[in-house]
Structure 1
Amino acid sequence: MTKLKIANLDGRPEIFHSIQGEGKNMGQPSVFIRTSLCNLHCIWCDTDYTWNWEKTRFAHVKDEDPAYKKYQMDKMIISLTLEEIYEEVAKTGCKNIVLTGGEPMMQLQELSALIEFFNSKADDYFFEIETNGTLLPDATFEALIDQYNVSPKLANSNNPKKLREKPAAYEYFSTNEKAVFKFVISSENDLTEVLNICTTYKIPNQKVYLMPEGTNPEALKNKQQWLIEVCKKHQFHYTDRLHVHIYGDKRGV
């Protein structure tokens, strides 16, 4: 029986009805399915409960907080069948599904089975996936997915370049009509890195979305004007973090 590893939100799977807060479909009512597990370990990650397990040596900005502890892996994952996931999503009546994580493409075969199961129930589901762009899809998944939201990690993530930058994957997504690229920008150094990536992998400007780094409205606003001017200069899209403005830094919204 196919099961998907889902993040545990206070004893229930992190499957929630909200709006897409970022990127191409910003403002679109969506159901988010947050998978567990990740192949990268970003020092500022706001979903560190999907990978920062006990007895690992990964660093996180919260390490400075004496109350912060790494997570017990077995307590932070709920394994659900395809039927159980479908039942949760069907309650909402929403047909735009966002597969997020962690890194959802670590469970590629399970996700393909999930999409096929949903499509057997109705033919108007739309699936978009949030991915760090390090893993290539197989032919089955490529045929099923509707949109890739590729969010490459930069040097500020504290991941070694050999882990975060996979040339074959970047080249694949740069020419894929279903893919857009979303970069989190905190400083001018980040922008220089983004421009180098776009040049190296021939990523078209119209595929690129720049988003300010921040987990509260004030931090986002501080970077907003500068980043909008950057987007105007390079013909990139600007994207905000709409959910942060509406809900704040909270899970399950």
Structure 2
Amino acid sequence: MAETKLKLALLNGDAEIFHSIQGEGVSTGCPSVFVRASLCNLHCRWCDTDYTWNWEGTPWAHDNDADPAYSKFKREDYITELPVHKVAETVAAFPCTRVIMTGGEPLLQDEAWQELMQLLSDQNSDYYFEVETNGTLIPSEGFDQSVHQYNVSPKLANSGNEKEKRCRNKALEFFARSEKAWFKFVISSDDDLEEIEELIAEHSIPTDRILLMPEGRDEATLQSRRLWLVDLCRDRNYRYSDRLHIQLWGSKRGV
């Protein structure tokens, strides 16, 4: 039987697996080991991990297209396949039991992540697993049993994705019913808020599990939206999330 492999992003020639702190969402500030999957079923214009999907020859637009120094990524330079047991060995070498499966879109590789979670849990029952997902795919029963927390970030019109691709009703309803799920919306304008509140009402998303986060890949952009969004969260009774890693290190990989 062929061994299971995970398709992961490449960073400096190695799979992008690193020890840092969670910079977004309800777990902000928690020491974590990040494992970054390659591949995504959405293609957001403002994505800051577009090296996981924006390959040469693909038709998708990105905000960075206006930058003469920017170009699409050569696929073989930014993706690797690593046996799951090797991923587990790398993760287990860090003195940290919170593991964040990120991407890309991790749920495209549901079965392989299940195997990874099982291998790590067999070594140490203290492992805590978070998955960062765009909320378009329903996890399998086995995955759902193993994961502890979903960080669901449904995409809005500002992402540039067509609505039928970014809003999958059955998946959103699954996460809205899950006590493991937190919803994080990236927001840049009042129009985004109107769209968010339509989604909340349509799918009965619990208000106390919603976080709003300013869109921005640099500190100047975040600061221009931060105070406006904080006031909005206070007045509408939503939880606010910043992007701590951008404040600390800027738009860098592996931190």
Same fold? TM cut 0.5: yes
- In structure 2, the residue matched to 1:154 is 156
- CA shift at 1:75, angstroms? 2.1
Distance 1:89 1:36 in 2: 17
Unaligned runs of 5+ in 2: none
- CA shift at 1:226, angstroms? 1.3
2:65 equivalent to 1:63? yes
- In structure 2, the residue matched to 1:246 is 248
1:194 aligned to 171, 177, 196, which one?
Answer: 196
| Residue identity matched to 1:54 | E
Distance 1:52 1:215 in 2: 17
**Contact 1:205-1:234 at 8 Å conserved across structures:** no
Distance 2:69 2:219 in 1: 25
RMSD: 0.9
**Contact 2:137-2:171 at 8 Å conserved across structures:** yes
Count of aligned positions: 253
Distance 1:129 1:112 in 2: 11
- In structure 1, the residue matched to 2:113 is 111
Distance 2:71 2:222 in 1: 27
| Residue identity matched to 1:45 | C
| Residue identity matched to 1:221 | Q
- What aligned pairs does 1:84-233 form with structure 2 within 5 A after superposition? 84-233=86-235
Q: Percent identity?
A: 50
1:38 aligned to 17, 37, 40, which one?
Answer: 40
**Contact 2:101-2:132 at 8 Å conserved across structures:** yes
- 1:52-101 per-position Cα deviation (integer Å, ceiling 9, x unaligned): 11111111111122232211222211111122112222222110000000
| Residue identity matched to 2:15 | P
- 1:154-180 per-position Cα deviation (integer Å, ceiling 9, x unaligned): 001000000000000111111100001
- CA shift at 1:204, angstroms? 1.1
| 1:184 alignment partner, SS class | strand
Distance 2:99 2:35 in 1: 7
- CA shift at 1:120, angstroms? 1.1
Unaligned runs of 5+ in 1: none
**Contact 1:180-1:208 at 8 Å conserved across structures:** yes
| Residue identity matched to 1:190 | D
- What aligned pairs does 1:3-14 form with structure 2 within 5 A after superposition? 3-14=5-16
- 1:123-181 per-position Cα deviation (integer Å, ceiling 9, x unaligned): 01000000000000111001000000000000010000000000001111111000010
